[in-house]
Amino acid sequence: MPMDPSQWIDVVEDKFKYQLDHFVIPGHYSEDVESILIPHGLIMDRISKLAQLITSEYDNERVVVCCVLKGGHQFFSDLVNYMKKALNKQGKTLPITLDFIRVKSYENDKSSGQVHISMTDKELQELRGKNLLLVEDIIDTGKTMKKLLETLGRR
């Protein structure tokens, strides 16, 4: 399933920006937003494509889709909904189980250097040997995801 890097959409700040007058911007954001890098519709279309790629990888295998809270909840919700639509379009069924894990490494907007995972050893053990799709919103340095993957690998 890995996508060839040549197919990635590279978002570089200076490359292209949409002007604000092309969009409806809620008033409470007006002082904070200068331009739009990626419009909402494009993001949703890419999530839909990602869902198609994911569902085409599994052939009636049980998949645990695990949301990394708190930040990943909206992306997770959108992805799961698009996965269901993709399965419907493909005429496939795929047993999907939803799970949630809280991983915290930031205090306010600063990395604390510590990674706290809010699942018990028993809960982590129950994920062992399963097809696990971790859904995270942003990977900044990769330290949090690395720690989570190490922890899951030990269980």
155 vs 18 pLDDT, higher one: 18
> How do beta strands 96-107 and 110-117 pair?
antiparallel
Rounded mean pLDDT, 101-111: 75
**DSSP helix, strand, coil percent of the chain (3-state; round to 5):** 40, 20, 35
Query: Which of 2-11, 65-74, 121-130 is the least confident region?
Result: 2-11
**Which tokens sit at 97?**
């189980």
The rounded distance, in Å, linking the Cα atoms of 71 and 65 is 15
Cβ neighbour number for residue 98 with a 10 Å cutoff: 13
Pick the closest to residue 128 from 56, 64, 59, 54 (CA basis). 64
- C-alpha to C-alpha distances, 21 to 30, 34, 117, nearest whole angstrom: 11, 10, 42
Domains of the chain: 5-154 (3.40.50.2020)
Kindly tell me if the per-residue pLDDT of 113 is higher than 60. Answer: yes
State residue 80's pLDDT score: 96
Confidence band (pLDDT; 50, 70, 90) for 64?
A: very high
* Catalytic residue IDs: 140
Confidence band (pLDDT; 50, 70, 90) for 16?
A: confident
